[in-house]
């Protein structure tokens, strides 16, 4: 018997719906829902242990996976089983995690797992836009301590009109692709890419998405009420001691304030703060420290945070002595690495990124194979964050989710400025060498310069800046180019990238409730001023893309050939193309245009002579002589009945020059007129209707000798009784021979 099912439907306003259902699947989880739109179905389950973990943070794991069966496909690779998550899945996990995590109580440390699975796919529905809704709806049906329902929505804009959760096809026409996460009261997360939009347009897009999210949050509340809202579980809260907190605040606040105001470097400041912390701990006995556990450290950091925030709000000063809108000193350099196709260093304060560019063919494109999307990227960026960049020693266990997320942000910032007709596959790699605030934005800046150094003709240079916000009541301060410490103690961390004409990408995490759109727009405008300042520094270093790629970098030529010539260029078993690549020291890639079915030939090589040789071979294969035209040829083979000649302009294209077409006079031996290697002109007559072969003539362009008489053409008419065609069954006698034909005996006597 099918259990009772509870269901709520969300109307998207344009004929599309999203349904949230519970009661049928995964009932042993602490909360489970199925979210469906069209044929797309997500199953989300949530579980949280009832015992607190022995850690001082929330061990929350958000896992998003797409099942290949959902789209009727097999997993690629040797092992036909879903394995490690793809970058696309990791990015969706991050989007959901960033909205959920702040809504759990700060003292809730039970291990918690949110699992979202794509069970059925619909080409017209992008599942990542519903993952946040599914996670929050499942939590609402559980007994977790969770502040309020949230949801996420994608917003696009087509022809000036905003649209919620557009299809992938609609996104191709949209100038905005933003994901917004929010509760009914507050926007909490924004991430996306844009085509150079203004700050006001970005704020309008966020508002539009927030209105749709409010409806989705209300639907979750109704579903939980219908299902039966569970009592929130009890858990062991962290120990608190207000008297101890006040005591430590009084001991540390002024000292921290003074050090923060001194404007020292990261390591000096960290060492000074550590000294104050040790002094505070030294004021307690060993028994007290053992009794208080980690409270002393906790309250010290609380006092430290309060002092630094107050310094900024009261005096407009920051930890390194800068004003709120001041950018740290910047220096840049391009062409630093001699062997790469392009390279650049960007250093801003204590943050440094070294970017490299590698150019390749379509064979090097990044293949994306997900159940919800198959395709390839001809421009992609990878971001590496080694532990030495922050002065730490720790094991490296593969690419972290953070590295995937920051690399994706920088890629989205730059990709719109790479021309559509760029023939190369372009890979940018950012190596973060120092980090104290926004290495992802340093990656955008170094990536821009490295691309220009490599000769990629960027439409416009792109810069990026990380911003912060500190607010208390009616007072607030927007911080430009934040430090790592300011990232942790602020109320908003947002990164904005763009050209001189508008925003190309953003990533925001808003920690304060009810942030007004006025403050948001003001913060974005201050970010624009800082972004333009940084852009000026980039342009001072390299004003425009290099006119050509470097001498040691591969040159790329693309040639389109008709479909019927693809086989000839490849050759039997690939013999022709392999020998051509070896002889010319080039890489040749042939793709077929899915629409025109023409062959798109990519020729990559460092030697222009080799590229020219490949082009000549292609021209040769595609050579089609025109009837009536004269061509220069070379004799390449001598035969009894003629000479085989090769077109000089199309090596490899051969044609027979019959002995009868060598000269006006009768030719007994071919070598009497031409020899091997001779070069001369011939006239092309097309396909001879009698022999069905191409016909060329040397004699046709030679002057006719004086007094020359041509033989009369053979008469093939059927009414000529002497013709061979006129022979019938009754006309086969010897007496029917032509009168002018001499007897065999007479011929022998001659």
Over residues 665-685, the pLDDT tens digits come to 888 898 889 999 999 999 999
Q: Which residue has the higher pLDDT, 124 or 736?
A: 124
pLDDT for res 715: 54
**Which of the pair, 514 or 214, is modelled with greater confidence?**
214
Cα torsion 390, 392, 397, 402: sign:
negative
Distance in angstroms (rounded) separating the CA atoms of residues 79 and 633: 57
Confidence of residue 726 (pLDDT cuts 50, 70, 90): very low
Is the predicted pLDDT of residue 563 greater than 50, yes or no?
Answer: yes
CB contact burial 109-130 (16+ within 10 A = b; e otherwise): bbebbbbbbbbbbbeebbbbbb
Secondary structure, 3-state, 327-368: CCCEEEEECCCCCCCEEEEEEECCEEEEEEEEEECHHHCEEE
The rounded mean pLDDT for the chain is 90
Binding-site residues for Mg(2+) sit at 487, 493
In percent, how much of the chain has pLDDT > 70?
94
pTM score of the predicted model: 0.84
Percent residues over pLDDT 90 in the chain: 66
Question: Sorting pLDDT into bands at 50, 70 and 90, what band is 650?
Answer: confident
| Half-sphere CA count of 554, side-chain side, radius 13 A | 21
> Which residue in 1, 2, 33 sits closest to 18, CA to CA?
33
**pLDDT band for position 100 (50/70/90)?**
very high
pLDDT at 422 over 90: yes
pLDDT digits (tens, 9 = 90+) for 314-370: 999 998 889 999 999 999 999 999 999 999 999 999 999 999 999 999 889 999 889
pLDDT digits (tens, 9 = 90+) for 156-180: 999 999 999 999 999 999 999 999 9
The answer to whether residue 736 scores a pLDDT higher than 60 is no
Asked whether residue 233 carries a pLDDT value surpassing 70, the answer given is yes
Beta bridge partners of 45: 32, 115
Q: What is the pLDDT of residue 705?
A: 81
pLDDT, position 594: 83
How does pLDDT run across 462-483, given as a tens digit for each residue?
999 999 999 888 889 999 999 9
- Residue 265 pLDDT class (50, 70, 90 cuts): confident
Residue positions forming the annotated binding site:
487, 493
Q: Is the pLDDT of residue 531 over 90?
A: yes
Average of per-residue pLDDT across 143-150: 95
- Cα dihedral 323, 324, 326, 327 in deg (nearest 10): 130
Write out pLDDT tens, residues 595-643. 888 899 999 999 889 999 999 888 888 888 889 889 899 999 999 889 9
Flag the least confident range among 27-31, 332-336, 421-425, 596-600. Answer: 596-600
Burial class of residue 611, CB neighbours in 10 A (0-12, 13-18, 19+)? buried
3-class SS letters over 517-566: HHHHHHHHHHHHHHHHHHHHHHHHHCCCCCCCCCCCCCEEEEEEECHHHH
CA distance 738 to 750: 19
**For range 514-519, the mean pLDDT:** 83
Query: How confident is the model at residue 722, as a pLDDT?
Result: 46
Mean pLDDT (whole number) for 554-568:
89
Q: Is residue 188 within 8 Å of 509, Cβ to Cβ?
A: yes
CA distances from 222 to 114, 130, 139, 211 (A): 21, 18, 14, 17
pLDDT mean over 582-592: 91
What pLDDT does residue 535 have? 97
Per-residue pLDDT, 743: 46
What order do you get walking across the sheet with 351-360 strand by strand?
330-334, 342-348, 351-360, 425-434, 379-384
Q: Tell me how far apart the alpha carbons of residues 122 and 312 are, in angstroms, rounded to a whole number.
A: 50
271-285, 329-343, 508-522, 578-592: lowest mean pLDDT where?
A: 508-522
Q: pLDDT category, 144, cuts 50, 70, 90?
A: very high
Q: What is the mean pLDDT of residues 684-690?
A: 88
Lowest mean pLDDT among 68-82, 167-181, 662-676, 696-710: 696-710
- Residue 721 clears pLDDT 80, i.e. is over it: no
Q: What is the pLDDT of residue 310?
A: 92
pLDDT at 710: 67
| pLDDT value of residue 712 | 60
Mean pLDDT of 424-430: 96
Question: What pLDDT is attached to residue 466?
Answer: 95
C-alpha to C-alpha distances, 14 to 61, 132, 292, 381, 397, nearest whole angstrom: 35, 21, 59, 36, 46
**Burial environment of residue 540 by CB neighbours within 10 A (0 to 12, 13 to 18, 19 or more):** exposed
Residues, the chain, total?
Answer: 750
CA-CA distance, 442 to 364, in Å (whole number)?
A: 26
Q: What is the pLDDT of residue 474?
A: 82
What pLDDT is attached to residue 486?
Answer: 86
């Amino acid at each position: 018997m099918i259990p009772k099912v509870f269901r709520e439907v969300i109307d998207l306003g344009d004929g599309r719906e999203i349904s949230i259902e519970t009661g049928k699947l995964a009932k042993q989880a602490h909360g489970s829902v199925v979210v469906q739109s069209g044929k797309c179905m997500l199953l989300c389950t949530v579980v949280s242990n009832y015992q607190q973990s022995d850690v001082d943070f929330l061990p929350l794991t958000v896992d998003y996976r797409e099942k290949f069966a959902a789209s009727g496909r097999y997993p690629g690779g040797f092992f036909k089983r879903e394995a490690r998550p793809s970058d696309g899945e990791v990015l969706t996990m991050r989007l959901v995690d960033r909205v959920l995590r702040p809504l759990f109580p700060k003292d809730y440390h039970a291990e918690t797992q949110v699992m979202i699975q794509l069970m059925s796919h619909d080409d017209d529905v992008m599942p990542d836009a519903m993952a946040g809704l599914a996670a929050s709806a499942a939590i609402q049906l559980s007994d977790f301590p969770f502040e309020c329902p949230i949801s996420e929505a994608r917003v696009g804009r087509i022809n000036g009109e905003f649209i919620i959760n557009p299809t992938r096809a609609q996104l191709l026409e949209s100038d905005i692709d933003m994901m917004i996460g929010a509760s009914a009261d507050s926007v909490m997360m924004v991430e996306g890419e844009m085509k150079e939009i203004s700050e006001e347009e970005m704020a309008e897009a966020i508002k539009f998405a927030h209105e749709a999210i409010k409806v989705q949050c209300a639907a979750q509340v109704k579903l939980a009420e219908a299902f039966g809202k569970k009592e929130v579980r009890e858990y062991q809260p962290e120990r608190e001691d207000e008297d101890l907190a006040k005591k430590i605040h009084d001991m540390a606040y002024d000292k921290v304030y003074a050090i923060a105001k001194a404007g020292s470097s990261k390591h000096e400041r960290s060492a000074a703060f550590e000294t104050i912390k040790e002094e505070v701990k030294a004021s307690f006995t060993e028994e007290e420290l053992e009794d208080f556990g980690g409270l002393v450290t906790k309250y010290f950091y609380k006092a430290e945070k309060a002092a630094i925030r107050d310094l900024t709000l009261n005096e407009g000063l920051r930890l390194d002595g800068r004003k709120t809108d001041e950018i740290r000193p910047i220096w840049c350099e391009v062409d630093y690495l001699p062997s790469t196709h392009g390279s650049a260093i960007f250093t801003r304060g204590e943050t440094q990124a070294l970017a490299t560019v590698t150019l390749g063919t379509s064979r090097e494109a990044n293949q994306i194979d997900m159940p919800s999307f198959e395709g390839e990227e001809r421009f992609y960026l990878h971001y590496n964050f080694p532990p030495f960049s922050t002065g730490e020693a720790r094991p490296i266990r593969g690419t972290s989710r953070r590295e995937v997320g920051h690399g994706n942000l920088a890629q989205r910032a730059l990709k719109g400025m790479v021309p559509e007709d760029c023939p190369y596959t372009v890979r940018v790699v950012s190596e973060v060498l120092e980090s104290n605030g926004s290495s992802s934005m340093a990656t955008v800046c170094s990536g821009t310069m490295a691309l220009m150094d490599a000769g990629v003709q960027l439409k416009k240079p792109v810069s990026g800046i990380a911003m912060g916000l500190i607010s208390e009541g009616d007072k607030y301060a927007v911080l430009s180019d934040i430090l790592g410490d300011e990232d942790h103690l602020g109320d908003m961390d947002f990164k904005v990238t763009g050209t001189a004409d508008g925003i190309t990408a953003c990533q925001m995490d808003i920690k304060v409730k009810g942030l007004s759109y006025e403050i948001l727009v003001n913060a974005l405008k201050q970010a624009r001023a800082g972004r333009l300042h940084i852009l000026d520094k980039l342009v001072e270093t390299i004003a425009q893309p290099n006119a050509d790629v470097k001498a040691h970098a591969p040159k790329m030529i693309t040639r389109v050939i008709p479909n019927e010539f693809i086989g000839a260029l490849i050759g039997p078993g690939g013999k022709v193309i392999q020998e051509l690549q070896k002889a010319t020291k080039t890489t040749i890639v042939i793709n077929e245009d899915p629409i025109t079915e023409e062959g798109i030939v990519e020729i990559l090589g460092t030697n222009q002579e080799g590229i020219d040789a490949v082009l000549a071979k292609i021209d040769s294969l595609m050579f089609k002589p025109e009837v009536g035209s004269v061509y220069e040829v070379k004799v390449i083979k001598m035969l009894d009945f003629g000479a085989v000649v090769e077109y000089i302009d199309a090596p490899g294209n051969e044609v027979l020059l019959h002995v009868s077409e060598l000269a006006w006079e009768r030719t007994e031996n071919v070598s009497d007129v031409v020899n091997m290697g001779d070069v001369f002109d011939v006239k092309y007559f097309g396909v001879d209707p009698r022999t069905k072969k191409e016909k060329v003539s040397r004699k046709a362009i030679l002057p006719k000798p004086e007094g020359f008489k041509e033989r009369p053409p053979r008469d093939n008419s059927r009414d000529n009784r002497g013709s061979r065609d006129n022979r019938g069954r009754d006309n086969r006698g010897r007496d029917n021979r032509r009168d002018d034909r001499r007897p065999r005996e007479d011929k022998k006597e001659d």
